[in-house]
Chain A
């Protein structure tokens, strides 16, 4: 079944400027992870904002968990969640209070038990009652992940989930995400600049440049097709407009 279906999505902020996203179409099956790659200004943030209903598309259609985001977005939002290091959680209240707030906003049943379970799984227990603003970057990322999982989402949108984390913590976060996807069949859309992360987590990637999909496929296939050693080199080829010899 399809968790997310995007058809011909376009966003033009101003009529006299090129579109930030143009003609974007893709589908994300349940239980799969899709990577959204592109340099700065490629349209990743704009795309995610449209998928979340924070930004209205100029044209096109988004079906999230069977709900049209233009007409029925709250039904979808209740079953989705989102995490980004660029949108903070209130830092003067405690981690537990933050999770309680979002638990209520998402109408989570058995909230105390859910928070206790997430705290145990994500190793938050020892700082559950500390203000969120006093935590280290790694701890904040784990709290953001707990907030993103509070409603046991069926569709998870992650923007740079391991930005500014040390390799050990980043690896731990990826392992948790993989485990959650396996346990629940959640579909994940991941925007990241970390190519190793994308290669590990994503079964399919969309390469964006200037708002358009310029290539797509499974990471291993893209690497093979471009005749490169890893996805980072493919990314550089696309971003710089250079291609290895023999690539169509």
Chain B
């Protein structure tokens, strides 16, 4: 077996472990879809209300709101999908077995990314479908560039999740609350529902360090002006590359530090 195929099989092995868990637990699958759909329904009513108030401007604004909700859910689900899959190994006291198997850290990360992608698609695609059925909001109207926006947010979710898992490796299970909260804390700076220009001047450079801020600027350009904001798209991907490289280095450093301190022996306790 070639080294590449062997690595792919190890990644599949870890994905299979999580997929087997979902196959046996319908509530877990429902939970994946619950929040994205709930968010979409709430913001859908806000959209309908705004559209009823004023037809022209508010309709565009309402579309931006729903588009923002659906795309931001992609980032949230991506980050949680990665972090919670990692935490699942800690909760089931299985991390020790994994880390003494031949699976490499990069393969572990690849498997967590794959599970994150699956969880995100299962969570967000039904919400996108329902947005169309209930509120006639078609996020595909953004155009083919939607795929690049969507992917950029998923990758940003992975970068944040690598940071979260690094904190868990550093601080133990006590840091697990970060898996739910950290990306929510970034929402104001991601400029999901308003342009970056709304922020105070000193805060705008901070926001523009986040790939999400560029994605949502690009989404608004597509929905309101019907154009592709290539500059924002390129910036989002360049920032993603930098963030993912930095967070991957942090993850590897924390994994090594945990092996040095002996933290892996007691991380779930």
A139 at the interface (CB under 8 A from B): no
Name the one of A13, A49, A97, A105 contacting B101, with C-beta atoms under 8 angstroms. A105
Q: Which residues of A, 71-115, contact B by the 8 Å Cβ criterion?
A: 74, 77-78, 80, 82, 84, 87-94, 97, 100-107, 109
A52, A94, A109: the one within 8 Å of B100 (CB): A52
B102 in contact with A106 (CB, 8 Å)? yes
How far is the CB of A101 from the nearest CB of chain B, in Å? Answer: 4
Shortest beta-carbon distance from B88 to chain A in Å: 8
A106 touches B101 (CB 8 A): yes
Other-chain residue from B16, B92, B104 in contact with A91 (beta carbon distance below 8 A): B92
Residues of chain B at interface, number, CB under 8 A: 32
* Given A45-B265, A55-B259, A56-B256: A97 touches B16 (CB 8 Å cut-off): yes
Interface assignment of A247: CB less than 8 Å from any CB of chain B: no
Query: A33: shortest Cβ distance to chain B, in Å?
Result: 20
Closest chain B CB from A91 CB (angstroms): 6
Given A13-B261, A56-B256, A92-B25: A105 in contact with B94 (beta carbons within 8 A): no
> Given the complex, which residues of A lie within 8 Å of B14, measured CB to CB?
101, 104-105
Q: Which residues from A are CB-within-8-Å of B103? A: 105
The answer, among B13, B96, B104, B261, for a CB contact under 8 Å with A104, is B13
- For the residues of B in contact with A, the DSSP-based class is helix
**Given known contacts A49-B262, A87-B93, A54 and B100 CB-to-CB distance under 8 angstroms:** yes
Q: Which residues of B contact A87 (CB under 8 A)?
A: 93-94, 96-97
Given A54-B100, A56-B260, A97-B16 in contact, is the A105-B10 Cβ separation under 8 Å?
yes
A192 adjacent to chain B (CB < 8 Å)? no
Beyond A77-B101, A106-B102, is A90–B262 a contact (Cβ under 8 Å)? Answer: no
Q: For the complex, is A39 an interface residue (Cβ under 8 Å from B)? A: no
Q: Which residues of A contact B261 (CB under 8 A)?
A: 13
Cβ contact within 8 Å between A93 and B24: yes
A93 touches B17 (CB 8 A): yes
Q: Any chain B CB within 8 A of the CB of A131? A: yes
The distance from the CB of B11 to the nearest CB of chain A, in whole angstroms, is 9
Task: Assess the A101–B13 pair: CB atoms within 8 A.
Answer: yes
Residues of A within 8 A of B92 (CB): 88-92
* A90 close to B21 (CB less than 8 A): yes
Using Cβ atoms and an 8 Å threshold, which residues of chain B touch A92? 21, 24-25, 92
Q: Do A101 and B16 touch across chains, with their CB atoms under 8 A apart?
A: yes
Q: Which of A90, A91, A106 has the most CB of B within 10 A?
A: A90
Query: Would you call B20 and A77 a contact (CB within 8 A)?
Result: no
Say if the beta carbon of A141 comes within 8 Å of chain B. Answer: no
- Which B residues have a C-beta under 8 Å from some C-beta of A? 1, 6, 9-10, 12-14, 16-17, 20-21, 24-25, 92-94, 96-104, 256, 259-262, 264-265
Show the binding face of A for B, using Cβ within 8 Å. Answer: 11, 13, 45-46, 49, 52-56, 74, 77-78, 80, 82, 84, 87-94, 97, 100-107, 109, 131, 147
Q: Which 8 A-B pairs have the closest CB atoms?
A: A104-B13, A87-B96, A78-B102, A88-B93, A52-B100, A97-B20, A101-B17, A105-B13
17 contacts between A and B (CB under 8 A): A45-B265, A49-B265, A52-B100, A54-B100, A56-B256, A56-B259, A88-B92, A88-B94, A89-B92, A92-B21, A92-B92, A93-B20, A102-B13, A102-B97, A104-B16, A107-B1, A131-B24
